[in-house]
Amino acid sequence: MLLALGFGATAHAYPVAFPARGDSLPSGAYFRATGHTGFDYGHNGWGIDFHAAAHNGTQWTRYESGTSGTANGDALIFGAPLYAPEDGEIIACWRTAPNKPAPGVDYDFNNDGTPDSSPMSGGNHLQIRNADGDYIVYLAHMDFDSIPSSLCPLPTNRDANADGWPDSLSKTCSLAGTWDGMVTGTILPTPVPVKKGDFLGRVGHSGASSGPHLHMHVKPFSYDASSRPCEGPSEEIKFVEGWEQLCETTDVTIAGWDPLAADNPLEPWFQIGENEWIPGRPYCFMPDGIGAEQDHNDYGVAATDLHFTTHSSGDLLVYQSSGALRLRSYKLETGGTITDQDTVNEGSVLDTAVTRPRSTRDVVVAIRGSNGDLKHIPYTVSSTTGAIVRQVGKELSEPAVFRVETTKSPAHDGYVAAIEDSSGNLKVIDYHVDSGLNITRDLSGTGSGGAIDDVAITTVSSGFDGVVTAELTTGGLLVLRSFEVPAAGGVTWADTYTTILGADSVRVDTVPVGLTEYVVTSVQLSATGTLRLDTWEVDGSGQITWVDTISAGDVSAHDATPTIPGGDLVSAMRDDADNFRMIGWRIDPFGALTRHATRGLSAVTDTAIVASLASGGDHLVAARTDTSGELHLFSYGAAFMSAF
């Protein structure tokens, strides 16, 4: 059941993402609220006030460990970065109001020892009109001058007094009833567009605030007959990405909750809306689509070169262990429990790639043997038990190569391989696989490219049936090539796009966005180690067009997976501190990239990630190797909704 965070259902609940990320608060701290405020600046009570809380091993606290709680900076939420919860445009704002001196301390503008009320209740704030133009998302009490001037470009001659407040707090709106105007001095002459995930500013203690916190509400929006902006009474908020847990309470009267367990931050987290909001009870929130750990398996075996395939019946992990090929099947149960099914140990290999060539769970593993020769090995994988059986006698052997990557064919049962041949050049080859898992190399056409240092390949099928390779050349270029792969088979070159971009490693994914799809490349830049993502559009004739780029922090290993229902990509990486980190990226209908989720965890040496189809796509599974190089498998909830 998808339920808003409120005291009861209404005819309308506004769907919106949480205005923060998983790394907005210190490790172990969570956003906290007790429901709607009951007061919303003169209207009804659908606003929400968020604080932050952490469990120190004995109790919950709102303040940093070792602090007295008497300074703004002691509050866990103070200074927390905020991000746009949806696409829209800022139409009104203020950013230079001072913070109150401390939690529980009012302004004293005259320095006479007498508390003074705030001239403007929201303090530093943003009013974001949604893309449809009919609602306002309001964020208030933000930190002094933390809102970028580019988002709140009030003219230098805008009236403001010496305390940083508007001289005039007049509001004008001619709409009847409970509709209200905005403070005239905060209205921007030209609205400023924002995208979901854009940085907006930081949590502060400005305006009518009793302590550092974030106030959020949503109101209907319209212009009156004189083109003045007006907003109606606030409405119920329905968060569509994030996780919740009852916390910070020992109330034994709450039916169905163990009060001791509820005071434990390791209790299960639920997707926002799966549980009734209990009026007046404190809830903790993880504010993005990557959820808490659901389960993990520790295998105590060395692993490198990690690869996943996923199927509605279960997933398969392929890796090397001390240089030998290993296949491991498992089933992701309801709730994210990982159930191991089967393991197959094979001989020594130098490189591996795996793909599902048909609609079944069966796979073909392409390897470079210990002598460098390319071999294609089919395996049946039971849809019920996960039993893995090598199809002896059906292997296809080919001459030596330096590198191999594979992807499912877009138009027939089979797969397409991108290899670095014995001369160091790119070759793209089509393979057919029949119901008996017999493999046939298609000789009707082979793609080719120049000398490469790394290569990745992905399938595209929205208007163009083919594959796209992403290559790093020996000269430091990133090259994308598209190849048509028709149902009859074979590979035909369509287009090449070359860009100057020094990088050490590359991978490529196809992300569905509505009825279309975008190719996304992920590279580790040579000069800085920074992870960079780019989006590319491939039209019906295979022509490649660059669309957008975005960067994250420094990495030394990375992988990625598109999520369900589409429009999101999750990167898994070893960051510059050698810790495992997951970052969620949104690709909008125009191919623009924004970052909107982050989860950081323990130290690793390598990582791979998949959005598991066995769970309907609502879980991520990450294979990680720890600092000793041993394999671990983790599952996490996924609650991404790009379009709502």
Q: What is the pLDDT of residues 186-203, one digit of tens each?
A: 999 999 999 988 999 999
Q: Which of 278, 217, 235, 210 is nearest to 47 (CA)?
A: 217
Q: What is the pLDDT of residues 323-341, one digit of tens each?
A: 999 999 999 998 899 999 9
Q: Which three-class secondary structure string do you get for 81-119?
A: EEECCCCEEEEEEECCCCECCCCCCCECCCCCCCCECCC
Residue 105: CB partners within 8 Å, gap ≥ 6?
none
How many alpha carbons fall within 13 Å on the CB side of residue 639?
26
pLDDT (0 to 100) of residue 38: 60
- Weakest-pLDDT range from 32-41, 415-424, 542-551: 32-41
pLDDT > 70? residue 8: no
Q: Sign of the C-alpha dihedral, residues 196, 197, 201, 204?
A: positive
pLDDT (0 to 100) of residue 438: 98
* Whole-angstrom distance, CA of residue 493 vs CA of residue 515: 25
Percent of the chain with pLDDT over 70: 91
* Whole-angstrom distance, CA of residue 41 vs CA of residue 39: 6
C-beta separation of 287 from 21 below 8 A: yes
pLDDT > 80? residue 564: no
- The predicted model gives 548-573 an average pLDDT of 91
Phi-psi domain of 614 (left: phi exceeds 0; alpha: psi -120 through 50; beta: other): alpha
Q: What is the pLDDT of residues 9-49, one digit of tens each?
A: 444 689 898 999 988 998 889 999 877 766 554 445 688 99
Q: Residue 448's domain spans which residues? A: 389-637
- The predicted model gives 586-592 an average pLDDT of 91
Q: What are phi and psi of 590, to 5 degrees?
A: -105, 5
DSSP state of 385: T
pLDDT > 60? residue 320: yes
Q: What are phi and psi of 384, to 5 degrees?
A: -105, -50
Q: What is the pLDDT of residues 359-405, one digit of tens each?
A: 999 999 999 999 999 999 999 999 999 999 999 999 999 999 999 99
The pLDDT mean for the chain works out to 89
Percent of the chain with pLDDT over 90: 69
- Weakest-pLDDT range from 236-250, 271-285, 382-396, 422-436: 271-285
C-beta separation of 187 from 94 below 8 A: no
pLDDT (0 to 100) of residue 6: 42
Q: Which amino acid is at 187?
A: I
* The token pair that represents 484 in the structure block: 């048509």
Q: What is the pLDDT of residues 94-115, one digit of tens each?
A: 999 999 999 999 998 888 888 8
Q: What is the pLDDT of residues 451-497, one digit of tens each?
A: 999 999 999 998 899 999 999 998 789 999 999 999 999 999 999 99
**Given pLDDT bands bounded at 50, 70 and 90, which one contains residue 125?**
very high
How is the beta sheet containing 516-525 ordered, strand by strand? 503-513, 516-525, 530-538, 544-562, 568-575, 579-587, 593-603
Structural domain tally of the chain?
Answer: 1
Indicate whether 497 belongs to any domain: yes
- The predicted model gives 542-551 an average pLDDT of 96
Indicate whether 544 belongs to any domain: yes
Indicate whether 523 belongs to any domain: yes
- 3-class secondary-structure state, position 273: coil
Indicate whether 402 belongs to any domain: yes
pLDDT (0 to 100) of residue 110: 85
Peptide bond into 85 cis (omega under 30): no
Indicate whether 362 belongs to any domain: no
* Whole-angstrom distance, CA of residue 292 vs CA of residue 579: 16
pLDDT > 90? residue 155: no
Domain harbouring 592, CATH code = 2.130.10.10
C-beta separation of 306 from 608 below 8 A: yes
**Given pLDDT bands bounded at 50, 70 and 90, which one contains residue 642?**
low
Question: Cβ-count burial of 177 within 10 angstroms (0-12 exposed, 13-18 middle, 19+ buried)?
Answer: exposed
- The predicted model gives 607-624 an average pLDDT of 91
**Given pLDDT bands bounded at 50, 70 and 90, which one contains residue 154?**
confident
- The predicted model gives 228-256 an average pLDDT of 76
Indicate whether 146 belongs to any domain: no
pLDDT (0 to 100) of residue 259: 45
* Whole-angstrom distance, CA of residue 278 vs CA of residue 263: 16
pLDDT (0 to 100) of residue 42: 44
**Given pLDDT bands bounded at 50, 70 and 90, which one contains residue 65?**
confident
Q: What is the pLDDT of residues 502-538, one digit of tens each?
A: 888 999 999 999 889 999 999 999 888 999 999 999 9
- Weakest-pLDDT range from 64-73, 250-259, 348-357, 361-370: 250-259
pLDDT > 90? residue 616: no
* Whole-angstrom distance, CA of residue 112 vs CA of residue 89: 41
Indicate whether 524 belongs to any domain: yes
- Weakest-pLDDT range from 62-76, 279-293, 373-387: 279-293
